Amino acid sequence: MNTHAIRAIYLFEMARTFRTLMQSILSPVISTSLYFVVFGSAIGSRMTEVEGIRYGAFIIPGLTMLSLLNESISNASFGIYMPRFSGTIYEVLSAPISYVEIVCGYVGAAATKSILLGTIILLTARLFVPYHIAHPLWMAAFLVLTSVTFSLFGFMIGLWADGFEKLQIVPMLIVTPLTFLGGSFYSINMLPPFWQRITLVNPVVYLVSGFRWSFYDVSDVSVEISMGMTLVFLVLCLLTVRWLVKSGYRLKT
């Protein structure tokens, strides 16, 4: 394993983040803070509790997950798309670096940014509403696994996209709606039985539910199922990325 190559790609991507601190970190944090103000204060004053938890605190895991999914996809897709767009990817491919090391460098940097962002959002949330974390290790596990999984998913989008507009199609038209409909702002137990069954088809439900359980010991589905679904999606993304990079899909052309 060429750790020097992984480190070089990783540090380059992290340096780009700190060069664009406003877009990479501050903008998502400010946007999420506005959600806390609107939903936590305005709506929370009318809807006092959900599942025995103050509404402002109840939405913290969902809002964190919303930012985490979008930023993981955005960071990873943009990170691999820009070298393809500028042509510098050929310099990387011509170096004595394996595809595994390329993926580790780009995906590792994107996941690190997302974990950093998620941590900042959780710290910022304390300015708006008090909350507690019942299972810190489980919370960290969901945070890391979700960041890595959706960074791999974003890497796939970055390989697939042939224009800047396509980088935004999946996050805007698929991931964000699924997150809003996945119990981020409500418990799916509040829905009629038919819609509860329909909602369980949404994979984001399991991510939000497991993450919320790590905070408050309440969930819409069991934590074992949530973790299992997260690991299944991680494996699927790993296998797909492995096939894409080994075949050179849109990397060599």
Domain ranges of the chain: 3-247
Query: Cβ neighbours of residue 240 under 8 Å, at least 6 residues apart?
Result: 152, 156
Residue 194's identity, in one-letter code, is F
45 pLDDT more than 70: no
Distance, CA of 58 to CA of 131 (rounded, Å):
9
The owner of tokens 């199609």 is 169
55 pLDDT more than 70: yes
The closest of 199, 13, 182, 193 to 92, measured between CA atoms, is: 13
* Contact present, 221 and 213 (Cβ < 8 Å): no
| Mean pLDDT lowest among 30-34, 58-62, 200-204, 221-225 | 30-34
Distance, CA of 167 to CA of 155 (rounded, Å):
10
Rounded mean pLDDT of 33-40? 76
Q: Where are the beta strands (DSSP E) in 17-169?
A: 49-50, 53-54
Instruction: Give the pLDDT of residue 25.
Output: 77
Both tokens of 36, joined, read 């806390």
The SS3 call for residue 49 is strand
Report the share of the chain in percent with pLDDT over 90: 40
**pTM value?**
0.91
183 pLDDT more than 70: yes
Instruction: Give the pLDDT of residue 73.
Output: 93
- Bridge partners of 215, per DSSP, are none
Give burial (CB, 10 Å; 0-12/13-18/19+) of 240: middle
Distance, CA of 22 to CA of 10 (rounded, Å):
20
Instruction: Give the pLDDT of residue 96.
Output: 85
Distance, CA of 13 to CA of 15 (rounded, Å):
5
Give burial (CB, 10 Å; 0-12/13-18/19+) of 83: buried
Distance, CA of 130 to CA of 87 (rounded, Å):
48
42 pLDDT more than 70: no
Q: What's phi and psi for 56, nearest 5 deg?
A: -60, -40
